[in-house]
Every structure is written in C-alpha cells, then in structure tokens.
Amino acid sequence: MKSSNESVRVIRKKRHLGKSLLIGAVMGWFLILILLPLYGIIKEAFQNGFQLLISSLTTPESRHSFLLTLWITAVTIITNTFFGVVLAVVLVKQRFRGKLLFEGLVDLPFAVSPVVAGFMFIILFGPRGWIGSWFEASGIKIVYAFPGMLIATLFVTLPFVAREVIPVLREFGLQQEEAAFVLGASKWQTFWRVTLPSIKWGLAYGVTLTIARSIGEFGAVLVISGSIIRKTQTATLHIHQEFTDFNYVGAFSAAIILALASFFILTLMQRIYKRKEI
C-alpha cells in the first residue's frame, strides 16, 4: 500500500519546521542537562594544574578508598552473579507457592532508598540486631566494617543479573534445554553446555550493570560503614569526605576517575547490548 498520498505530503511539509524545532529542543536539553556538567567538572579539576590533580589522587587516603571499592566490587560480582543466575533459574523453571510475591521481592532493591537500605542493615546486623548480636558474640563485626559494606552493596545490586537473565532464559534456554535433556544430557551438562552459552550476553549485561552500581553506590554504604578514613571509606565516600572538608580539588579529581570508569562501563554496555540483540 502506498502510504503517502497528497494530504499526507502537505502535512509532512508543515511538520518539517516542527521536526527541526523538536530535534533542537531535545538536543539542547540533553546538552545542558547531561553533557555540560561533565565539561564543568573537567574544567574545575584541571583548573589548578595536572600536578595537583595527580597528587590529590595519590594520597594514601585516596588510594585506600579506590582499592576498597575494587575489593567490594570484585566480591559483589562473584556473589551476585552466582545468586542472580540461581534466582533466574528458579523463577523461570520452577513453580511454587508465592512465586509472584517472591519475584516482586527480587525487584525491591530498585525501589528502596539507599539510606533506608543501609539503616535496615544497621538494625538487623548491628551489635544489638537479631543477626548482628549473634555474630558479635563470635567476635565478628559487620556494621562499620567490610562485611556490612559488602552486604549493602549486594543488596542494591541484587536484581541486576536476575532481571537481565530471566528474559533471555525464557526465550532461548528452554527449547534447547529440552532438546539436550531429551538427548540424554545430565542436568549439569545441560547447564554448562546449553544454558550458559545461551544466556551469556544477558548475563554479561547484568554483570556490567552490577559493576557500575557497586562502584557508584554511596548512600547505603555511607550509612553502614560509618565512613572511617583509611578503614571503611570507599571511593564515593572519599569524594564525599573531600567535598565536606572543602577540599574541592580532591573531590573533583576523584570524581573524574569515577566518571571515566563510568564511560568505560557505558561503552562496554553498548557493545554487550548489541550482541544481546542478535
């Protein structure tokens, strides 16, 4: 069917001006809202020279905080990749009572304020909490220490892997799995040889989102860590510390490093997303 008849063409011409205006408005909005702040921070950080930027990044406090962020991110990736896949498999393949509620609970960390999340964990894992008091008796500190910060990060990143793997598993995994199963493969063989390869791009995307969020998490970790310098201070907490101490160069330069990391992650996300689509 020919879609463009006379009247359509006339209105299209009238629309041309509207189209340019709309594109201009959207690009302007995007430029001012999203891109201009990036320029702002680069300008501020380099204003006092490259030397100062480097020296503020290589202070022991700064190095310690970036290292801690790396550690927490590494452990988070391993833990939540494992549990994310388990959750996805259970939610796609199994039927049980209360499954809808369970599925809703998996999404909850996206909706909860990070400060409230940190606070919940203080109450539960603090020295007087239901679980915390038990650990305290065995001499293990959770709140204001590494385990608490890890728990907070695990919470805020929990849905990413599961959410990305579930749709892929629904679409591809099952038929091929059934085939493998019928052909006599064991459950483990089926998982490693059939399921995992078919979900790998969805999984990779979920892991990338997990990395981005673990590096960037602030509120939940701030509340539960107590932000103790050179002890429980991650990169984002370090930025906060520098900012509240009016050491703007330190804050800006550390922020630039994290912004660079986000660009790298974003590029990775785009690459994986394209693969996922195929």
Partner 1 sequence: MSRNPLAKISGTSSDLLLRSLSFFYIGILIVLPIIAISSEAFKGGLNNLWTNITSSQALYSLKLTFITALLMVILNVIMGTATAWVLVRYNFPLKNLMNALIDLPFAIPTIVTGIMLVALYGPKSFIGGFFNRQGIEIIFAKPGIILALLYVSFPFVVRAVQPVLHEMEKDMEEAAITLGAGPFAVFRRVVLPTLLPAILTGAALSFSRAIGEFGSIAIVSGNIPFKTQVASVYIYGEIESYNPQGALGLSVVLLFFSFLILILLNRLQTWNRRHEEF
Using CB under 8 A as the binding rule, the residues of this chain from 108 to 147 that contact partner 1 are 108-117, 119-124, 129-131
Q: Which amino acid is at 213?
A: R
Residue 50 makes contact with partner 1 by CB under 8 A: no
- State in angstroms the smallest separation of the CB of 160 from partner 1: 11
In contact, 166 and 91? CB cutoff 8 Å: yes
Cα separation of 139 and 74, whole Å? 25
Using CB under 8 A as the binding rule, the residues of this chain from 175 to 214 that contact partner 1 are 177-178, 181, 187, 209, 212
- State in angstroms the smallest separation of the CB of 211 from partner 1: 10
For partner 1, give the closer residue by CB, 50 or 113: 113
Cα separation of 62 and 67, whole Å? 9
Using CB under 8 A as the binding rule, the residues of this chain from 9 to 38 that contact partner 1 are 11, 14-15, 18-19, 22-23, 25-27, 29-30, 33-38
Using CB under 8 A as the binding rule, the residues of this chain from 82 to 101 that contact partner 1 are 83, 86-87, 89-96
- State in angstroms the smallest separation of the CB of 181 from partner 1: 7
Alpha-helical regions (H) of 126-234:
132-137, 146-168, 174-182, 187-190, 196-216, 219-225
Q: 167, 243, 247, 276: which one contacts partner 1 (CB under 8 A)? A: 243
Using CB under 8 A as the binding rule, the residues of this chain from 208 to 237 that contact partner 1 are 209, 212, 215-219, 222-223, 236
How crowded is residue 11: how many other Cβ atoms within 10 Å of its Cβ? 9
Q: Which stretch binds partner 1 (CB under 8 A): 8-16, 54-62, 133-141, 196-204?
A: 8-16
SS3 call for 139 = coil
- State in angstroms the smallest separation of the CB of 3 from partner 1: 5
Phi, psi at 183, each rounded to 5°: -75, 0
- Residue 126 DSSP symbol: S
Cα separation of 202 and 113, whole Å? 26
For partner 1, give the closer residue by CB, 198 or 236: 236
Cα separation of 255 and 273, whole Å? 26
In contact, 275 and 201? CB cutoff 8 Å: yes
In contact, 46 and 53? CB cutoff 8 Å: yes
For partner 1, give the closer residue by CB, 55 or 119: 119
